[in-house]
């Protein structure tokens, strides 16, 4: 896409351009992770995070009856750090490791190269289309995946709905504009009354489609989806659109293609969509509670034995960032979507 003067584009298309344009997109040009990047994710903070996810996956595999063939799909693997630790852990459980088809669904060619350099290319299959997943029970892991998908925004004024657009009257000084919108037609298209009791709507059509595709696979072949992302559970939607550059907030309409654009997940909306699809149930918790129930504090004690004071301090500093309510502990939520009747509750009970 070429941005020029007197150009207007809906917010979701603008975000998609800014993040995923083949030549200028943020995720297509750089590795945004780590101290030298723009933000840090849980797997980079501490390997304990990924170890807990590995334990959860192994527990769920056992719950499914230790199937001889199972798919594990990571949605958006970032710099590959979580998958690296998952593989190291799974190798200690050879029956599972040999049973598991491991797949990564990654849109960014830049990140895919980083992942292939870091990970065992012989064990992992990279896929662009979820239809290529074999018909075995499938466990999907989505850590900070849905927040990186483009969103639409709608504003209600005097009982009329308007959609947010970005206007490039002058391509160097873009600004937001609002255009009248047929909400009833939109709701018919998505099959969901999203505007009920709302004055502001923030949602991702692509994200909803991912949910539909994944849950269809789960219902057909068994398995589940674990979502870990920052978000909120209140019914009332709010404007959470933000841009991050060099670990600081940035104007969404500045540094286009050079900064991340993200949003907080409305888990209440996800829950309603899942309930409407039928045949599924979901559990939700905070990241802090989930990791503690999986035993991350015990793991910290084990790995800190015989360490120096500074090494112990570093382990517990990282643990605090993952589970403390003032850090990632409460801001990040964990949602588990599974078939109705499945009793697995590890990390949630």
User: How far is 231 from 67, CA to CA, in rounded Å?
Assistant: 33
Mean predicted confidence (pLDDT) in 314-330: 95
Q: Which residues, 6+ apart, have CB-to-CB distance to 66 below 8 Å?
A: 95, 96, 99
**What is the per-residue pLDDT across 110-131, written as a single tens digit (0 to 9) for each?**
899 999 999 988 899 999 999 9
Closest CA to 152 of 247, 16, 56, 274: 16
Q: Is the pLDDT at 108 greater than 80, yes or no?
A: yes
Most confident range (mean pLDDT) of 19-23, 188-192, 264-268 is 264-268
**Secondary structure of 187-226 as H, E, C letters:** HHHHCCCCCCCCCEEEECHHHHHHHHHHHHHHHHHCEEEE
**What is the per-residue pLDDT across 166-193, written as a single tens digit (0 to 9) for each?**
998 877 788 999 999 999 999 988 888 9
The dihedral built from the CA positions of residue 251, 255, 257 and 259, taken in this order, carries a sign that is: negative
**What is the per-residue pLDDT across 27-71, written as a single tens digit (0 to 9) for each?**
887 666 656 656 679 999 999 999 999 999 999 999 999 999 999
Q: What local confidence, expressed as pLDDT, does residue 320 receive?
A: 97
Q: What local confidence, expressed as pLDDT, does residue 24 receive?
A: 83
| Antiparallel, parallel or unpaired: β 260-262 and 124-127 | unpaired
**What is the per-residue pLDDT across 83-100, written as a single tens digit (0 to 9) for each?**
999 999 999 999 999 999
Closest CA to 214 of 276, 271, 274: 274
Cβ count within 10 A of residue 239 = 13
Contact yes or no for 345/225 (Cβ under 8 A): no
Q: What local confidence, expressed as pLDDT, does residue 27 receive?
A: 81
According to DSSP, residue 134 is labeled: -
- Tell me the two tokens of residue 63: 């719950």
Q: Helices (H), strands (E): how many in the chain?
A: 14, 16
Mean predicted confidence (pLDDT) in 19-34: 78
Lowest mean pLDDT among 28-32, 307-311, 344-348: 28-32
φ/ψ of 231, rounded to 5, equals 180, -170
Mean predicted confidence (pLDDT) in 280-294: 97
Model confidence at 73, pLDDT cuts 50, 70, 90, reads very high
Inter-CA distances, 177 with 8, 166, 254, 288, 295, Å:
9, 6, 16, 39, 49
Mean predicted confidence (pLDDT) in 154-158: 95
Contact yes or no for 194/203 (Cβ under 8 A): yes
**What is the per-residue pLDDT across 227-247, written as a single tens digit (0 to 9) for each?**
999 999 999 999 999 998 776
Model confidence at 2, pLDDT cuts 50, 70, 90, reads low
3-state class (DSSP) for residue 305: coil
Mean pLDDT of the chain: 92
Q: What local confidence, expressed as pLDDT, does residue 67 receive?
A: 97
Q: Is the pLDDT at 15 greater than 80, yes or no?
A: yes
Chain center to CA of 88? 22
Residue environment code for 108-125, b if the CB has 16+ CB neighbours within 10 A, otherwise e: bebbbebbeeebeeeebe
Place of tokens 């403390």: 324
User: How far is 334 from 157, CA to CA, in rounded Å?
Assistant: 34
Q: Is the pLDDT at 1 greater than 60, yes or no?
A: no
Q: What local confidence, expressed as pLDDT, does residue 34 receive?
A: 55
- Tell me the two tokens of residue 172: 């160097």
Tell me which fold the domain 31-150+205-252+262-339 belongs to. Answer: Rossmann fold (3.40.50)
Q: Is the pLDDT at 198 greater than 70, yes or no?
A: yes
């Amino acid at each position: 896409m070429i941005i020029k003067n007197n150009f207007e584009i809906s917010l979701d298309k603008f975000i998609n351009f800014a993040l995923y344009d083949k030549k200028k997109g943020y995720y297509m040009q750089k590795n945004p992770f780590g101290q030298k990047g723009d933000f840090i994710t849980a797997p980079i903070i501490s390997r304990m995070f990924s170890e807990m996810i590995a334990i959860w996956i192994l527990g769920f595999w056992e719950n499914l009856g230790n199937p001889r063939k199972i798919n594990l799909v990571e949605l958006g693997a970032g710099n590959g750090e979580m998958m690296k630790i998952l593989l190291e852990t799974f190798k200690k459980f050879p029956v599972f490791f040999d049973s598991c088809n491991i797949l990564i669904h990654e849109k960014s060619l830049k990140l895919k190269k980083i992942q292939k350099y870091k990970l065992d290319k012989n064990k992992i299959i990279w896929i662009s289309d979820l239809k290529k997943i074999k018909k075995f029970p499938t466990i999907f892991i989505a850590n900070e995946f849905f927040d990186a998908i483009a969103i639409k925004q709608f504003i209600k004024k005097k009982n009329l709905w308007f959609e947010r657009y970005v206007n490039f009257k002058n391509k160097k000084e873009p600004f937001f504009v609002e255009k009248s919108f047929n909400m009833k037609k939109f709701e018919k298209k998505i099959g969901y009354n999203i505007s009920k009791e709302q004055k502001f709507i923030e949602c991702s059509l692509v994200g909803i489609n991912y949910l539909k595709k994944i849950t269809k696979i789960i219902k057909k072949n068994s398995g589940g989806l674990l979502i870990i992302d920052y978000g909120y559970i209140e019914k009332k939607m709010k404007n959470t659109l933000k841009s991050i550059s060099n670990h600081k907030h940035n104007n969404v309409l500045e540094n286009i293609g050079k900064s991340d654009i993200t949003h907080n997940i409305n888990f209440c909306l996800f829950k309603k969509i899942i309930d409407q699809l039928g045949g599924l149930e979901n559990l939700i918790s905070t990241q802090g509670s989930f990791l503690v129930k999986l035993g991350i504090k015990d793991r910290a004690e084990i790995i800190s034995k015989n360490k120096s004071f500074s090494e112990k301090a570093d382990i517990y500093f990282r643990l605090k960032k993952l589970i403390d309510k003032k850090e990632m502990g409460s801001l990040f939520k964990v949602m588990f979507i599974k078939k109705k009747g499945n009793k697995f509750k590890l990390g949630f009970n």
